Every structure is written in structure tokens, then in C-alpha cells.
Amino acid sequence: MFHRQRIASLLKRQEQQRRAQHSLSPPSESANTTTVSPLSASETFLTIPELVLTVFNFLYTKDLPQACLVCSLWSALAQPLLWRHGIRLESDSQIQAFAAPIAICGAWVQSLDFNAKSDGEEDIPLSYIDLSNILRHTPQLRRIDVRERTMDEHPLMALAPCSQLESIAFTQYQDHVLDLGADGNRDIFSAWPQLKHLSISGTDWERPSAAAASLERALVVTKSLHLETINLAFLLSWSPLTVHHLVRTNADHLRHLNLATCHFIPQEFFEEILAGATHLESFGLRECLYIPERLPQIAQTHPRLKCLSLTDGVGFPADVVIQVARACPLLESLELDSCEDTVIAARQFLAHCPHLRTLILFPLEGPNVMDLFLGEPWFTLPESGAKVRHPDGNNANKSQHKKDRIQHDDGFYQLGALKRLKSLGVIGYSVWEFGDVEWMARSFPWLELFWYRRDDMAVPQLSWLCTHRPEIELSPYP
């Protein structure tokens, strides 16, 4: 209603201005312009920046390039929005292509992602000259990710000139030693007074090194960090005291904490380091062996948790996960793997977390999504993709079929109750049939992103989904 009133007001004002200009024009010019074109309202609409920006708020990022083609005004308004979104540069050719027009578009760029490594590939070097040229022309840059990129010097040293950065993600390699001055007490992080998000990845090298020691020292001596996000991964040679100090000194501001493959952290540290982080909203664990039995206490002391990621090899007991589900009623994002019974655990979260917007599950059993949530198979007709068959062989409308067979305590019914689900992924050991895909497409009108594994969904199902819900982004899960 607000937008309708605002649009009407702007159109009326624009029409008044047009008539005022018309009345001031010479009679010879106004004589032939007594009629108003029926398209004038729509044409006027295209020329009001505030209305155009309102339209852009309802467009997906992938649609902005097409918006640039409407007219020169739309192009001028859409390009800054387009460049402000994350720009991912996966290869040297992409970097070179991006560096060419950087002097023109660089003033709009706010996020750069150079992280391009996938499993089994070698680290891709990033030329210091290329990076310096890009950074020199991006004064509004706020977020940069150079993980898995080998560089001529330590990433923090290369990024030091960009004092406006709010988010830095990098990989600590064995040959990258920080220069902390003669006394070893240089505060390297004072170069970024606005830094709020820090992501550090290591390697699978478990032996202590001078490079790792220099970074640990820098994190201990600094007094400049006020982090809201801390992501640590594969830092196998670190001291647990470093993590303890990093979390404790940022506890008043900390909102998001993710730890991956941090076996070095003993279990007694978890409750202590998280005790002061009362505003914690996101907590992720991956292959941290000493944490499962501490999860219920952490969940109970942090009821504001909105994002929880429990994945890969930790082996969470089902009873522990059930306690966590009951202690996190405000949860909006869940990624669950390596649970003793993923189905039981998932149903607990579905029952106790009605605000879920993102759901990613790694089930341990199949054979399809219907069976995963304890529902009856769809008995789909592959040749149609739009009808389902009752067990007695009769075709029926999907909604009536659902009403007939779904019980209110069924996990499948609970999943369907999450009408505002925006991201969904059921990865591994599940087969998406036509009925499953159709049900998903019709049940979640707000769905924007769907994760799948290529082995789980055939091409016809993907094609059907692309045709009937083209706005959903399909993303193969790594």
C-alpha cells in the first residue's frame, strides 16, 4: 500500500511539472500538444529514479544486467547496484578482464572474492601487481577474500593500504611470515579500524612454523580488533590459548563463530571462551572432536542462536542434537551432518524451530526425500512430471493427495509448514523424484536457492524445476 501511494504521488507530481512546463512554452509549440499519450504514465514511470530503485529492490542480482538495457537511466542506476554485489574472480583471465575497466567501475565495487580453489586443484597464485592495481581503483571496497591464493608476500601486508576494509579472508601459508617489527609487538591490525569480520584458513601442515607463530603473535598483541565474525579453519599447529584470547577479547562484539578442523582446542575451553559471547547468533563446527557433549550447554546459554552448522565427522549423538533443537527456538539456518539419526534430529528441529529459512541436511538413509521425512512415496508418473498416482492407480490432484495422506505429526508435513523457507538442500543418499521436485516447487513460494548433489537429481527433474520456478538458483553442493 505504501508503494502504491508513493508511486501515485510521484506520478502526480511529475505530471504537474510536465503541465507547468507545457503552460510556459510558446503558443506555437503548445498548439500541437493538446493531447496526452496513453503511454505517458508508463514513460514517466521509467524516468523517476526513486521508482526505478524501488523496482530494483524486487529484482534478483542476476536480472540487473537486463535492467541495464531498458534505458540510460536504468543503466546508470543499476550498474552501481550490480558492482556492489560480490564479484568472484576464479581465474587469471577473469582477473585480467576485470582489471581492464577497473578505473571506470572500481568506484562502485564493494566486495571481491578471489577464492577459487576446488578439491584436487593446485593453489592459484595471485600477482601482487594485479592486486595492487585493483585495490588502487576500489576506494569503496569493504570485503575481500584471498583464501587459497599464494601471493608474493603475506596477504595482510598486501592489504594494509586498504584501511576501509570491514571483512578479510585469507590463507596462512608456511612461507608467509608477518613483519611485526624488531620487538615483535607491531599491531598489524591497526591498519583496519573498521574490521569486523576475519576468516583465517590454514593448511594440513601440523608442524609448528615461524609463519604460524608470527600470525598467532599478531593476534595476541593486537588491541585493535572488535570482531563480529571469526572463522578459523585447518589451523592444526595453533595453540588453544590463541583461540581463547581471540574469542575472549572480542566477546562483547562477537555474533558469528565458525571452527573447522580445530582438533587442538580441548573441551574445557569451549564453555569458558563462549561464556562472555552473550550476543552469539551463529555457531558452526566441523571436525572439532571435543565439542559434542558440550553442545546442549552452549545452546542453553545462547538462546539467541539463529544459525547452526554441525557437519563432517564429529558424530553428534541423536539425544544431544534433540536437546540442542529444543534450546534454539529462534533458529533460522541449520546445516546438519554426521548425526546418528539425521531423520529424527531433523524432525526435532522442524518441530521446535518454526522460523527456519535455510535447511541443509545430509541424510544417512534413503531411498528418496519422501521416505526421508517418513512420508509415503509419491508413486510419480515420470512421463508427465505434473501428476501423481495413488496406490490404487488413480491419478489425483497433488494437494488433495497430500491432504489425504499427510499426518500432522509427520516430518514431511513439518517441512511443508516452513512456508518462508528460502534455501533448501538434502544432500546425499536421496533421490529426487518428479513428485518430490513438484511438491518442493509448489510448497515453498519464497524459495530462492536449492542445493543438490548431481547424483541425486536427474536432468529431467532439474529441467522441470528450471521451467516452473526459474527464479530459484540451482547450486550443486561441493
Residue 219, pLDDT above cutoff 50: yes
pLDDT in tens, 97-117: 777 777 777 888 899 888 865
Name the phi and psi angles at 89, rounded to 5: -115, 105
Strand, helix or coil for residue 181: coil
- 3-state DSSP of 154-177: CHHHHHCCCCCCCEEEEECCCCCC
pTM of the model: 0.73
Least confidently predicted of 78-82, 258-262, 360-364, 429-433: 429-433
The pLDDT confidence band at residue 427, using thresholds 50, 70 and 90, is confident
CA nearest to 471, candidates 434, 419, 432, 422: 422
Strand, helix or coil for residue 423: strand
**Do the domain assignments include residue 63?**
yes
Q: What is the per-residue pLDDT for 34?
A: 42
Q: What is the per-residue pLDDT for 145?
A: 92
CA–CA dist 304, 86 (Å, integer): 28
Average pLDDT over every residue of 211-217: 87
Give 380 or 56, the one with higher predicted confidence.
56
Q: What is the per-residue pLDDT for 194?
A: 95
**Do the domain assignments include residue 64?**
yes
Q: What is the per-residue pLDDT for 387?
A: 37
Give 102 or 395, the one with higher predicted confidence.
102
pLDDT in tens, 54-87: 888 877 777 777 777 777 888 888 878 777 777 7
Q: Which helix (H) or strand (E) holds 322?
A: helix 318-327
Q: 337 in the Ramachandran plot: left (φ > 0), alpha (ψ -120 to 50) or beta?
A: beta
Q: What is the per-residue pLDDT for 385?
A: 37
The torsion defined by the Cα of 125, 127, 128 and 133, in degrees rounded to 10, comes to: -140
Strand, helix or coil for residue 259: strand
Average pLDDT over every residue of 326-342: 81
**Do the domain assignments include residue 438?**
yes
Give 224 or 266, the one with higher predicted confidence.
224
The torsion defined by the Cα of 278, 280, 283 and 289, in degrees rounded to 10, comes to: -20
**Do the domain assignments include residue 52?**
yes
| Averaged pLDDT of the chain | 75
**Do the domain assignments include residue 10?**
yes
Strand, helix or coil for residue 389: strand
Strand, helix or coil for residue 113: strand
Q: What is the per-residue pLDDT for 192?
A: 94
Q: What is the per-residue pLDDT for 200?
A: 93
- Tell me how many domains the chain contains: 2
Three cell numbers, residue 278: 552473550
Q: How many CB atoms lie within 10 A of CB 29?
A: 9
Give 108 or 129, the one with higher predicted confidence.
108
pLDDT in tens, 4-53: 566 566 556 656 666 666 565 555 444 444 444 444 556 666 778 888 88
Q: What is the per-residue pLDDT for 467?
A: 87
**Do the domain assignments include residue 466?**
yes
Top mean-pLDDT range of 51-55, 206-210, 335-339, 384-388: 51-55
CA–CA dist 380, 330 (Å, integer): 36
**Do the domain assignments include residue 373?**
yes
End of a domain among 49, 67, 84?
84
Residue 461 lies in domain? 361-387+413-478
Q: DSSP alpha helices (H): ranges in 148-265?
A: 155-159, 210-221, 240-249
Q: How many CB atoms lie within 10 A of CB 391?
A: 9
**Do the domain assignments include residue 126?**
no
Q: What is the per-residue pLDDT for 42?
A: 61
